[in-house]
Structure formats: C-alpha cells, structure tokens
Amino acid sequence: MKMDRILPFAKNSLIKAVKPGDIVVDATLGNGHDTLFLAELVGELGKVYGFDVQQEAINATKKRLTEHNLNDRVSIFHTGHEQVSVKIPVEEHGKITGAIFNLGYLPGGDKNIVTHSETTISAIEQLLKIMAPEGIIVLVIYHGHEQGAVERDDLLHYCQKLDQKKAHVLQYQYINQQNNPPFIIAIEKR
C-alpha cells in the first residue's frame, strides 16, 4: 500500500512540525508508544509533556522510556489533558510545536475508562493558545464504541467550526473500510 495508514500519517504529520529541541505534548500516554516516538523526535534538548488519568498507562510509559533511556526528556502528569495549560510551565507557552491524542480507551486496559469530548475540546482550545504558529495537533479518533461515537461527532462539529484564520483542519480517513476504523483530524495553528 502506497498511501499512509492512519498511524504512519499521524507520525509523519508530527515529523513535519517537530524539530530537535522542540517542546511537544502526548495528551494520552496509552502504552507509551507515542511518548517514546516524541522523545526520540525532540532529541536531547527537547521536552515531552505527557498526560494520562490511568496509573496503568503511566507505568507502561515509564517502563518503555526507561528501556530506551529517555526518561529525562519527558515530564509525566497523572491527570487529564484538560490540565495542559496549567501543568506545562508558562515559559514553555508559545514554544509547543506538536501534540498527539489517541482517543478512546487504553489498549489492553479497562474499556470503561474512555476519553470524553468535553476534556478533549478543552485541551485543544488550550493548546491552540499556547502552541507556536504552525504547531500541529493530531487527533487519532477511535470511534468503534459508544462513547467514541459521541466524542467523534462532538469533535467533528467543534473542528468544523474552528476559524480558518486561526487554524487549518484536515480529516484523514479511509471511507470504504468496515468496523469503524480510526481516523485522524489534524489541526495546524496559523
């Protein structure tokens, strides 16, 4: 297949926006794959701020970072991503070049603990205020469960209404696949 699948598209979008030494956000730590990717992307002088409400996700992420000796590049917060502008130091505001959200539930975790549109939209609004111009927010939307469908609809509605003078919004999705495959909304701050 020559077209990027969903997760490679997400990573390639961040590669275009983030350089060594940059500040980035992993808004949903999950099992630490994106955190590790971002820590490698920002290099020795960069910083990753990670958020998750589940201790299980934090433990998995710390373990993955330790295995690659990259803990020093990452600050992890055991709280929701709606705390992003409070938890990231003010001196970093205006310097964030990338952020990623993997929405839904923790793979292999409790499927009753899911992301919600209210907190996700709050985090997006905060990030758009504290990101650098041309910073990119990547939302990977897993909507194959009841709350995921609600979050999908709310996010699509919210993103379609973002002022085009403030942000470019892209939807990347395969439209002929079964079983509600994930899709991406990418938001680039202007």
Output phi, psi for 135, to 5 deg: -65, 150
Q: Which domains does the chain have, with CATH numbers?
A: 6-189 (3.40.50.150)
Token look-up 């699509």 returns 156
pLDDT at residue 78 tops 90? yes
pTM (two decimals):
0.97
Which tens digit of pLDDT belongs to each residue from 25-34? 999 999 999 9
> Whole-number mean pLDDT of the chain?
96
pLDDT at residue 41 tops 90? yes
Q: Tell me the three state secondary structure of residue 167.
A: strand
- What one-character-per-residue DSSP string does 99-116 give? EEEEESB-TTS-TT-B--
pLDDT at residue 1 tops 90? no
CA distances (Å), 173 to each of 91, 152, 154, 176, in order?
Answer: 36, 13, 17, 9
Which tens digit of pLDDT belongs to each residue from 102-125? 999 998 989 999 999 999 999 999
In the chain, DSSP finds a helix count (H) and a strand count (E) of: 6, 7
